[in-house]
Amino acid sequence: MQTEMIAEAQRQVQVCNSCRYCEGYCSVFPAMHQQRDFSIADITQLANLCHNCRGCYYACQYTEPHEFAINLPRVLAQVRQDSWQQFSFPRFAGAAFHQSGLAIAVAVTVGIAVILWLASLIAEVGSGGGFYAVMSHSLMVAVFTPAFLLPLFAIGISLRRYWQHSGGGEFALVDLRSAIHSAASLKNLSGGHGDGCNYEDRDRFSKARKHVHHAVMYGFLLCFASTSVATLLHYVFNSPAPYPLFSLPKLLGISGGLLLSAGTLAMMMLKRKADPELADTRVRGGEFAFIALLFLVSTSGLLLYALGGTSLMSVLLYLHLGAVLAFFLLMPYSKMVHGFYRLAALTVEERRKRVKS
C-alpha cells in the first residue's frame, strides 16, 4: 500500500482518536479508541470496518477549510481499496478491474456469451425442455462448476492474506456469529443514533442506503437459494427443470431477481447523488460497472423467464449466462468482495473485544 496514503490515514485517525466526538457512530470508532498508536495493519483493519456512510464527516468540525483537513471516509476508502488489491489473487487482477471495469465487464460478458453459443453448436443438445433445448445440462455443469469454484478459491486466498496481515489469530464461533449478525442487519449503516446516515445529503439523515443494500444482499441470496434448491431437486429428487411458477425455485428466483434489479438500480441513483470526494474516486468507474453487471444478471434472468417461450429465448439465455459467468469470474476483483472483507474485519474486531474483556 502507498506509504503516503497510510501516513495520512494515521494522521487523521490520531486526530479523531483525540476528539472522540463520533464515538458511537459505527464500529470504526470503538475499535479506534482502544489504541493510541496505529500500525499499517491497524489502519487496514479500521478501513475494512468502515461502511463509508459519511456521518462522521458531516459531523466533524475539523474538515476543510480547517487546517486539520479531516476526510476520514475518503482516506479509509483509499486504504480499503488498496488493501483489496494487495491481498487479491492474482494481485494484478484487482487493479485492472477498477481501472477499466466497464470495458472488462462488457468484454467478458459478451465473450462468454459467444463462447457458450459456439459450444452449444458443437456439443450435443439435450432432449429436455426449457433451457436444455438450447444448451445441454452437462455443458452447463461443465462450464459453471469451475467458474463458481475458482473465484471462491481466489477469495479464500485473499481473505487468508488479510487475516494474517490483521493478526486475526484463532476465533470462536461466537465471534463469527456476532459478525454475521452485524453484517446481515447492516448495523453500521444505521448511524450513531439509529436515524440512518448522511450518504445522500449532509443535512438529512436517511436509511435509504441501508434499505438498498438489504435489497441487493437479500435479492442475491434468494437467487442463490433458487439455484441451490433447483440443484437439489435435479440431483436428489430426480426432478429436472423447467419448474412451474409456484415451485420453490421459481418463487425464490423471481422474488430475488426483482429485489436485486430494484436494489441495484436504486444503488446507482444513490451513488450519483453522493459526493464522490468522500470516496475513492480512482475506482468510481469500477464500482458502477459492478452494479451494472449485477443489474444485468438479475434483469436478464427476469426477461428470460418472461420471454422464455418466444424466439428470443436462446439469445437471452446466452446473454444471461454470460453475465452470470462474468459476475462470478470477476467477483474476487470487483466491489462484491467487500462483503467478504467486511465480515472478516467484523470477526477480527469481535475476537479482539472478547479477548480484552
- Give the per-residue pLDDT at 128: 55
Arithmetic mean of pLDDT, 90-103: 78
Strand partners, 201: 204
- Give the per-residue pLDDT at 193: 64
Arithmetic mean of pLDDT, 147-161: 93
Range of the domain at 255: 89-356
Do residues 73 and 63 make contact, with C-beta atoms less than 8 angstroms apart? no
Does any domain span residue 26?
no
Q: State yes or no: pLDDT of 134 exceeds 80.
A: no
- Give the per-residue pLDDT at 125: 54
Does any domain span residue 313?
yes
What are the distances in angstroms from CA 180 to CA 18, 56, 176, 191, 212?
A: 30, 24, 6, 18, 18
| AA identity, residue 325 | L
Could you give the angle at which helices 313-330 and 284-306 cross, rounded to 10 degrees?
150
The count of other CB atoms within 10 Å of the CB of residue 353 is 15
The per-residue b/e assignment along 100-122, b for 16 or more CB within 10 angstroms, e otherwise, is: ebeebbeebbeebbeebbeebee
Answer with the residue of higher pLDDT: 246 or 125. 246
- Give the per-residue pLDDT at 127: 52
Strands 204-206 vs 197-201: parallel, antiparallel or unpaired? antiparallel
The domain total for the chain is 1
In this prediction, residue 303 has a pLDDT band, given cuts at 50, 70 and 90, of very high
Do residues 271 and 223 make contact, with C-beta atoms less than 8 angstroms apart? no
Residue 87 cell numbers, joined:
491481498
Of 91, 153, 95, residue with least CA distance to 328: 153
Does any domain span residue 2?
no
Give the integer Cα–Cα distance in Å for 131 and 135: 6
Q: State yes or no: pLDDT of 181 exceeds 70.
A: yes
Does any domain span residue 107?
yes
Answer with the residue of higher pLDDT: 25 or 213. 213
Q: State yes or no: pLDDT of 48 exceeds 90.
A: yes
Answer with the residue of higher pLDDT: 138 or 266. 266
Task: Give the single-character DSSP code of 240.
Answer: P
Contacts of 92 (CB under 8 A, 6+ apart): none
- Give the per-residue pLDDT at 185: 87
Percent of the chain with pLDDT over 70: 94
- Give the per-residue pLDDT at 191: 65
Do residues 288 and 248 make contact, with C-beta atoms less than 8 angstroms apart? no
Q: Which of 162-176, 200-214, 233-247, 253-267 has the lowest mean pLDDT?
A: 200-214
Answer with the residue of higher pLDDT: 126 or 214. 214
Q: State yes or no: pLDDT of 171 exceeds 90.
A: no
Does any domain span residue 280?
yes
Of 114, 109, 156, residue with least CA distance to 289: 109
- Coil vs helix vs strand at 204: strand
